Amino acid sequence: MRRVLAGVVLSLLVASLAGCVAAPGGAGPRVEISEEPSGVWEPVHVRLVSLPPGGRVTVRATARSGAAAGERWSSQAVYGVPSSGVVDLDHDVPVEAPFRGADGMGLFWSLQSDSGREATSPHLWGGTTLTVDLEAVVDGRRVALRRLHRVGLSSVAPSRAVFDDGITGDYFEPASASAAPRPAVLVFDGTEPDVQTGVLSAATLSAMGYPALAFSTYGSAGQLGPVRTLPAERVVAALNWLRSQPGVDARRVFVFGASRGAQLALWTAVAHPELVYGAIAPAGTTGLVCPSPVPGPAITVGGSWVPCLSGTHEVTAAAVLDLGRIPGPVVLGCAGQDEQLDNGCRWLDAAADVRPARGGDAYVRAPRATHSFSLPPYTPLDLPPAPQAQPTEDARVALWSAIGRALDVRGP
């Protein structure tokens, strides 16, 4: 999932880095990080070195951003210091922490607001560049301090509005150049009217190096009111638009939908294997379900209803879409503690019966995670409270790692 940050971003950060707390030199205690700056969508590796052996060190993280001036987000963990004097957050298990086990990004996703505010802003936790101070404290005394920057998606995943061929959306084109055509992703955005749900995912995919169109499933905000029916012709137009963009490998276009968008993505891939190579569809049904509470078509073709199920409880192989028609990888995921779809893992298991995993496929089962596990990892965005926070974050890491692998699979 890691990609080199665009040179323009690095140059923009030079001035701000000049005023940062530098990593201490010499043989004294210090905080080492693998990359500075790093992208908010990727992990950063942290080690504390030259610590006094045999004692304990408290590692504190404090985050600030321009979008939340005056408000702090903080977390901390306590580690025992081995004889080597080195604590590696990727591999060492903390003595006390808001997470269990070794977790190099635990201090980042477990950040809590000092004011008690929940982390619900995709702009703050995805788009904005965050400043994070890492502090090492031994016996009540600070022994090391390092400032790092988590580069926001708005810096590396520029977008432009699309109003073309009856489609509406935001196109995210990777800032980094690529000599070879790249896989691209159509992300179903706004799977509830007036709600943008795919922009964060599309921007993250672009930062990973893949062009992505956040497709406004039901048109422009405010235009269609409560209508929850998707004309298939709009999807085909969006796919053809995306396939025609410079640098896009038209043979490897994926569809992505989470929650209710999952079934729309799967149906599109099944109905149009000539246009769609693979599908990413976590946290939703693997069969096409009619919208509720007023029964109506989920999708129409030429104005006619596509047959759909009357509810989510009928989980059989016959209810699952014919996923075997999808030529490339399929990435599915379910959460055992999903508060919106309590039988999501039954839908995933039924899909696995219809389509046993092929090369590049991934079926991510997260028994203790919640519905928000489909969001990108490494931030506290929309994480549930403990004890579901950690399994939900773990599921995010597993899911997005699987997405990266699937997008790199080369077909015929």
Q: pLDDT digit string (tens) for 344-362? A: 999 999 999 999 989 899 9
Region 229-248: what's the mean pLDDT?
95
State how beta strands 46-49 and 87-88 pair: antiparallel
Q: Cα 238 to the chain's mean position, in Å?
A: 22
Q: Whole-angstrom Cα distance, residue 216 to residue 190?
A: 6
Residue matched to tokens 């989920």: 298
Q: What percent of the chain has pLDDT over 70?
A: 87
Region 107-132: what's the mean pLDDT?
92
Q: How is the beta sheet containing 362-366 ordered, strand by strand?
A: 159-164, 167-172, 212-216, 182-189, 248-256, 278-282, 330-335, 362-366
Region 27-33: what's the mean pLDDT?
92
Q: Topology of domain 157-407, per CATH? A: Rossmann fold (3.40.50)
The predicted structure's pLDDT at residue 179: 75
Q: Topology of domain 7-152, per CATH? A: Immunoglobulin-like (2.60.40)
How large is the greatest C-alpha to C-alpha distance in the chain, in angstroms? 73
Q: Whole-angstrom Cα distance, residue 315 to residue 345?
A: 10
| 309-357: pLDDT as tens digits | 998 898 999 999 999 999 999 999 999 999 999 999 999 999 999 999 8
The predicted structure's pLDDT at residue 70: 63
65 pLDDT band, cuts 50/70/90, is low
Hey, where are the domains in the chain? 7-152, 157-407
The predicted structure's pLDDT at residue 195: 53
| 75-116: pLDDT as tens digits | 999 999 999 999 999 999 999 999 999 999 999 999 999 888
Region 266-281: what's the mean pLDDT?
98
Does the pLDDT value for residue 170 go beyond 90? yes
| 48-61: pLDDT as tens digits | 999 999 999 999 99
Local structure of residue 295 (DSSP, 8 states): T
Please give the C-alpha separations between residue 275 and each of 127, 181, 328, 391, in angstroms, as whole numbers.
31, 16, 11, 35
The predicted structure's pLDDT at residue 291: 85
Q: Whole-angstrom Cα distance, residue 271 to residue 236?
A: 10
Amino acid at 25: G
Omega within 30 of 0 (cis) for the link into 387: yes
227 pLDDT band, cuts 50/70/90, is low
The predicted structure's pLDDT at residue 23: 43
Q: What is the mean pLDDT of the chain?
A: 88
The predicted structure's pLDDT at residue 1: 41
Q: What percent of the chain has pLDDT over 90?
A: 74
Does the pLDDT value for residue 16 go beyond 60? no
Amino acid at 259: S
Does the pLDDT value for residue 18 go beyond 90? no
Contact 293, 242 (CB under 8 A): no
Does the pLDDT value for residue 178 go beyond 80? no
164 pLDDT band, cuts 50/70/90, is confident
68 pLDDT band, cuts 50/70/90, is very low
Alpha helices in 19-130 (DSSP H): 106-109, 122
The predicted structure's pLDDT at residue 27: 72
The predicted structure's pLDDT at residue 191: 63
The DSSP secondary structure of 196-237, one letter per residue, reads --SHHHHHHHHHTT--EEEEETTSSTTTSTT---EEHHHHHH
